[in-house]
């Protein structure tokens, strides 16, 4: 019998991109493609790029170059999708020549047609059978991302997502609940709810904000143990949402809320629609009303016009808010963004220095939070079993997959997806050690 065509995916960037990759994989699986882990063994390689800031773009270009080089072996074609296709196609063509097709967002549903055009006709019946619905997951089986909307209505000066992905479009609530049920039936214990802005869900479809209502419906699905909300917008963290985080059984006391800066003048230039006072109130409300809440945020340093005083104000806010998790980026121009036209560009050396100072400040805070947790008993979800003398890896309720801290446990019996109680016995940098009680 003829072999089916094979495809390998390299998904870069954020979980939103990963969910897009899952959609692309599902479409190709539904047409009979086999998905392989190792790109060099595949007929076709798809690179789903991330265009967020210069460092991500450079990683994407390097990855494309590596994929194109595989055409010297058995790979027959390289497709490039993702955020770079819109605004950085020229850069890719110049720096990583040899891509066979670029796949913009509007063509995602036709990726199977594009792939089939590129490859020699496969005599296997898989190309002629009816398309069957396939739902691929690129996460380990015990957690999954649930993308609740596409696009964004904000106009942040440093971002081109609204231009390339369009305005916010919510997915129907019933469809999301059905998807979550399917995931729970497959063994998913943790649902990570994502969107460009997850806190305005439903306003387009239903005329009112349905984020909390959706979270309550997900909360009632049997089998789902943890529900984690990522990518909240500060001005949308209102009473109803805070109450939901405080009272729902399985919606975790965790919020990823990118704040981007804390100086009023920088936030104004960024067009974020809030100032430091609003951020301080939001953090205080969350701390006061949601017991044990853990906060994650991101900040950009070196945005055009950021002065020493602006940066000191950011540091001051970081000391005040003491968020558990903080990611920082050095600003870089995004082609087509409003910020790219702003004056007052900050020299790279100053961005580096500010980045280092911010991360050092946060390190002390993160380490202090970790020290404070030593001796406590925590629920953890196991992500990986112990292997070759290395401990099992788990996460607390206050830690999101991929980006937050890990808990290491020396125990060979633990398996991914186990939800257990552990005693935190020590801290190593950003991570923790634990043992099973008893």
Which spans of this chain sit near ligand SF4 (rule: CB under 6 A)?
A: 152, 154, 156, 159, 161-162, 196-197, 233
Q: Closest separation between CB of residue 421 and ligand SF4, Å?
A: 36
Q: Closest separation between CB of residue 147 and ligand SF4, Å?
A: 13
What's the burial of 32, exposed, middle or buried (CB within 10 Å: 0-12/13-18/19+)?
buried
Measured from the Cβ of residue 198, the count of other Cβ atoms closer than 10 Å reads 25
Q: How many Cα atoms within 13 Å fall on the side-chain side of residue 422?
A: 28
* DSSP 8-state class, residue 302: S
Nearer to ligand SF4, 198 or 362 (CB): 198
Contact 317, 279 (CB under 8 A): yes
Residues whose CB is less than 8 angstroms from the CB of residue 311 and which lie 6 or more positions away in sequence, other chains included: 263, 301, 354, 357
Q: Closest separation between CB of residue 336 and ligand SF4, Å?
A: 12
Q: Closest separation between CB of residue 162 and ligand SF4, Å?
A: 5
Nearer to ligand SF4, 153 or 425 (CB): 153
Q: Closest separation between CB of residue 270 and ligand SF4, Å?
A: 9
Owner of token pair 């009023």: 264
Instruction: Give the 3-state secondary structure of residue 171.
Output: coil
- Sign of the torsion formed by the C-alpha atoms of 311, 314, 318 and 323: negative
Token pair for 281: 């109130």
Nearer to ligand SF4, 152 or 283 (CB): 152
Nearer to ligand SF4, 282 or 382 (CB): 282
Question: What's the rounded Cα separation, in Å, for the pair 47 and 92?
Answer: 12
Nearer to ligand SF4, 232 or 434 (CB): 232
DSSP 3-state helix, strand, coil percentages of the chain (rounded to 5)? 40, 20, 40
Nearer to ligand SF4, 99 or 159 (CB): 159
């Amino acid at each position: 019998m003829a072999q089916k065509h094979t495809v390998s995916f390299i998904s870069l960037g954020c979980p939103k991109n990963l969910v897009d990759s899952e959609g692309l994989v599902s479409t190709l699986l539904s047409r009979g493609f086999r998905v392989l882990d190792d790109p060099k063994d595949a007929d076709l390689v798809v690179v789903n790029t991330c265009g967020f800031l210069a460092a991500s773009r450079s990683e994407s270009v390097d990855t494309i170059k590596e994929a194109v080089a595989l055409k010297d072996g058995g790979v027959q074609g390289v497709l490039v999708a993702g955020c770079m296709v819109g605004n950085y196609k020229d850069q890719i063509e110049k720096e990583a020549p040899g891509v066979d097709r670029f796949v913009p967002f509007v063509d995602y549903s036709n990726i199977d047609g594009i792939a089939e055009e590129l490859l020699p006709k496969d005599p296997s019946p898989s190309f002629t059978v009816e398309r069957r619905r396939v739902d691929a997951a690129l996460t380990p089986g015990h957690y999954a991302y649930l993308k609740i909307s596409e696009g964004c209505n904000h106009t942040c000066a440093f971002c081109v997502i609204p231009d390339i992905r369009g305005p916010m479009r919510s997915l129907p609530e019933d469809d999301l609940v059905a998807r979550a049920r399917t995931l729970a039936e497959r063994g998913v214990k943790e649902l990570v709810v994502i969107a460009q802005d997850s806190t305005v869900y439903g306003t387009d479809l239903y005329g009112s904000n349905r984020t909390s209502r959706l979270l309550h419906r997900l909360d009632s699905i049997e089998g789902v143990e943890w529900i984690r909300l990522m990518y909240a917008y500060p001005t949308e963290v209102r009473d109803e949402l805070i109450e939901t985080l405080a009272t729902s059984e399985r919606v975790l006391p965790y919020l990823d809320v990118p704040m981007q800066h804390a100086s009023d003048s920088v936030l104004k230039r960024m067009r974020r629609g809030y100032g430091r006072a609003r951020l301080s109130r939001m953090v205080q409300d969350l701390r006061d009303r949601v017991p044990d809440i853990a906060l994650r945020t991101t900040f950009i340093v070196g945005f055009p016009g950021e002065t020493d005083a602006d940066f000191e104000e950011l540091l001051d806010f970081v000391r005040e808010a003491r968020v558990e998790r903080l990611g920082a980026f050095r600003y870089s121009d995004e082609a087509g963004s409003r910020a790219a036209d702003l004056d007052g560009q900050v020299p790279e050396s100053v961005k580096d220095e500010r980045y280092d100072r911010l991360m050092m400040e946060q390190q002390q805070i993160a380490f202090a939070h970790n020290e404070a947790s030593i001796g406590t008993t925590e629920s953890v979800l196991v992500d990986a079993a112990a292997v070759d003398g290395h401990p099992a890896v788990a996460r607390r309720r206050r830690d999101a997959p991929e980006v937050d801290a890990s808990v290491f446990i020396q125990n060979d019996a633990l398996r991914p997806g186990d939800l257990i109680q552990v005693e935190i016995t020590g801290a190593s940098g950003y991570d923790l050690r634990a043992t099973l009680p008893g």
